[in-house]
Amino acid sequence: MLTGVSLADSLSEPVDGVSGGWIAMISVANLGLFMAYFGPLAVLLPDQVQAASDAGGKVVAFGLVTGVGAAVAVIASPVAGALSDRTASRFGRRRPWIVGGALVSAIALVLLARQHTVAGIAGWWCLAQAGLSAMQAGIAACVPDRVPVRQRGAVSGWIGIPQAVSGIIAVLLITKVAPGPAGYDLLAALVVALALPFVLGTPDARLARSDQARRDRPGFWASWPGPVRHPDFGWAWLTRFLMVLGNAMAVVYLLYFLRGHADLIRHIPGHRAEDGLVILLAIYTVVVMVTTVAGGVVSDRSGRRRRSVALAGVVMAVPAVMLGLWPAWPVLLASAAILGAGFGVYLSVDQALVTQVLPSASGRAKDLGVISVASSAAQALAPALAAPLVTHLGGYSTLYFCVAGIVLLGSASIWQVRSVP
């Protein structure tokens, strides 16, 4: 579909609500995006890095690979967003970046599957991250482009479900349907196929070349948001960084955590760490699916988004303390459910809140790209921060106590946002 809406309409706050079909198509596109992201992080990359490095260096090597990949995403997300805002194409501003990002990441994943050195793994994972970041920048901007504020909590909740379920679906596909390198090939096919319905079935504003020409190069750089000029945007960024950092630190070494505790594995059906990871992710995912939509709807009705985000951080701290004190299988099961409840509410409400503190309508994709840097930077730092905690500073108990402190800081920082109730 090549028809679009006017640029003037796209820069104003949307009034008409989006349809269920629109929500379904953007959710499906998000599913492909996050499966291509979380699938490698959960299983494929840890196994591939372990095979490419010595046993004692796998934790550090994995932190290096994921860290440099996320560092690439830190740069790619806002740059792709800024270019999307200025793209003058007959296909629209967002579509070229969604499709192009999907294709680049798919090619990179296919080539990543064929790597046998840590350097090769890191290089192609960086390219995959760049493509996924461009794709995400285009998709994320479609929410403030098209969804009115009164509907953003609910829409963000529905969009958040794929982000939550993508991990468990990707792990199941990788471990049961396409194990090993074939898992990369399957994810590459899905990231493209699942983006097409949204790209082909929804309208997209077109930027006239005359409008693009008026946005000179100095304006391009001067328009980047900063915490001094836009303090609410800065505090929202910090909250996102802390919450994602805490969640990532709790999850990123979970497979290694299970493998390192023989007393845990004997309680897992099948007695395999991978099976335990699937069980924990399944519990986490089901709870997130319930709470992300419910949390978004409640915040739409009450209008009080800060309170929901703060409560989510407190809830997320509880399982971290539990794991730090009692690393037992029943505690892991309960922790997965509680963490899912907190992160599910956070996903929907925070995304809606962020769209209400964007500095300008003309730079939505750029500004959301800057916000996504909080997630990317957190993902980059999580393995780097977690590795010394696990190997030199007390092990997994220290790691989980730090997680609790980080998400509680996130709860506190959201109260500094003044323009949103």
Dmax (CA) for the chain in angstroms is 66
Domain boundaries, the chain: 17-201+210-416
* Banded model confidence at residue 214, pLDDT cuts 50, 70, 90: very low
Identify whether the C-beta of residue 58 lies closer than 8 Å to the C-beta of residue 383: no
- The DSSP output letter for 42 is I
Using left for φ > 0, alpha for ψ between -120 and 50, and beta otherwise, residue 180 falls in left
Q: Which residue has the tokens 């070229």?
A: 96
Show the DSSP H helices in 326-417 as ranges.
Answer: 329-355, 364-391, 396-413
CA distances 323 to 108, 200, 332, 334, 397, Å, are 36, 45, 7, 10, 7
Vertex 76 angle, CA 1 and 375, to 5°: 100
Identify whether the C-beta of residue 31 lies closer than 8 Å to the C-beta of residue 165: yes
Show the DSSP H helices in 223-304 as ranges.
Answer: 231-251, 254-259, 262-265, 273-302
Could you tell me the pTM of the whole model?
0.78
CATH number for the domain whose boundaries are 17-201+210-416: 1.20.1250.20
Identify whether the C-beta of residue 401 lies closer than 8 Å to the C-beta of residue 99: no
Rounded to whole angstroms, how far apart are CA atoms 38 and 33?
9
What are the tens digits of pLDDT across the range 285-336? 889 888 888 888 888 888 788 999 999 999 999 999 998 888 888 999 999 9
Least confident of 182-196, 259-273, 316-330: 259-273
**At 48, which helix (H) or strand (E)?**
helix 45-52
